[in-house]
Structure 1
């Protein structure tokens, strides 16, 4: 059976009140027809129970991971733009080159393409810097959320075993040649 503990008020975006009765199949509750504070005013409402806190935390972590992956993707693209610019810069400016525009391969000259590649690279770097600022804000928001709700991440048993095996083989990935003997 469903309860009227505020879920439907939130969904309807109304505040609770004792004046108007609304009956739905199996559910009866009261509300005042005045919209609640906008979502822009309150970024996250006070959670009701641990499960809601966990879900909010998971969604915040998902947003953080999405920002990380977008930054990585754009950094790779900016790196590719740098490689292209460095490869064609020393060449003759009237030399033909080909550029993909909207899925169509177009013949141009280096003189036409090089400024466009450099502009695109600068635009990518600007977007990356804005995303880094957003990332820092999101990290602070998550840290505040963790301290407010005393969230600690526990390592699973497999992670603990992985950590102990790393300590034993601390020189993993390092090749060492045979010891020279001085006789």
Structure 2
């Protein structure tokens, strides 16, 4: 029994522990994907703002939200700040993409080490599709058949 306890402290022997670690790793990857997507949307918004104010007169007034406070500035003051913010966001996105690639490699090594194959979601998807088709047909056919009758 002591050998099992020693082994458990070094690497997870229990299938449930391996599954929990795998689920945690998958969750981290999903969080990275969602954060990257969120930041890419912000970069897109910054690009739209830059495209809108760049051709305008630099001495023209414009308003910028800084920390929840709307501030009046001129375009010549705001444009460089928005461009710097966009560049900063792009740098963060590139670092997050690198971290994502590392996590992908890490999870691939974990899958290979513990011979993890994801079969349950495929079977569950097939079962869910059959259930969804049956239930959705009942919902869709019910009102359609009452209208036709």
| TM-score normalised to structure 1 length | 0.64
Which residue is 1:90 aligned to? 55
Of 120, 125, 128, 1:159 maps to 125
C-alpha distance in structure 2 between counterparts of 1:106 and 1:129, whole Å:
30
CA deviation vs aligned residue, 1:141-177 (integer Å, no higher than 9, x gap): 00000011000111354512649xxxxxxxxxxxxxx
CA deviation vs aligned residue, 1:49-103 (integer Å, no higher than 9, x gap): 1010000000001111111011000000011000000000001100000001111
C-alpha distance in structure 2 between counterparts of 1:158 and 1:59, whole Å:
21
Decide which structure has the larger Cα Rg and report it: 1
Of 77, 81, 106, 1:112 maps to 77
Of 58, 61, 82, 2:26 maps to 61
Greater strand percent: which structure? 1
Partner of 1:138, secondary structure, is helix
For the aligned residue pairs, the C-alpha RMSD in angstroms reads 2.3
Unaligned runs of 5+ in 1: 11-44, 164-183
C-alpha distance in structure 2 between counterparts of 1:110 and 1:83, whole Å:
14
Partner of 2:82, secondary structure, is helix
C-alpha distance in structure 1 between counterparts of 2:102 and 2:86, whole Å:
25
C-alpha distance in structure 2 between counterparts of 1:149 and 1:158, whole Å:
22
Greater helix percent: which structure? 2
Which residue is 1:70 aligned to? 35
Higher normalized contact order (CA 8 Å, seq sep 6+, divided by chain length) = 2
Which residue is 1:47 aligned to? 12
Question: How many positions carry a matched residue from both structures?
Answer: 126
The CA deviation at 1:48 is 2.4
C-alpha distance in structure 2 between counterparts of 1:95 and 1:153, whole Å:
58
Which residue is 2:147 aligned to? none
